[in-house]
Amino acid sequence: MKFIGRFILLAAFFTVMNHPANLQAANEPVIPVKDTVTMVDLGAKTCIPCKMMAPILEELKTEYQGKAEVIFIDVWEDPSQGKRFGVMSIPTQIFYDRHGKEAYRHTGFMDKEKIKKWLDMLLERK
């Protein structure tokens, strides 16, 4: 009887751990990225200001590679991320310093120069 009880508990554990929602969570990037300045843009691939920002974010990912992380999250594909970051409107950009503390939050389109200003300022901080 003990064997059957243990088997049921073990089967339930593996069922929960292999549920798609739990597997997705394990593959998510850790935000903010440890020991790195991080900018996360929360938006949607189909929102107009978000579409306007997409090429800017790609350029910044390349320009800041090895110095800062630039991450895009589509909150329409994964609504839990909007709740996780307290997003009320998209796009929302959140900047974290290298210690993982939120330094600045902006809602709406953000141009490349303003994003660079914040990334550079946070990179200069110790």
User: Annotated active-site positions, please?
Assistant: 47, 50
What tokens does 43 get? 């938006």
Please count the CA atoms within 13 angstroms of the CA of 79 that sit on its side-chain side.
0
Concatenating the DSSP letter of every residue in 48-69 gives HHHHHHHHHHHHHHHHTTTTEE
3-state secondary structure at position 119: helix
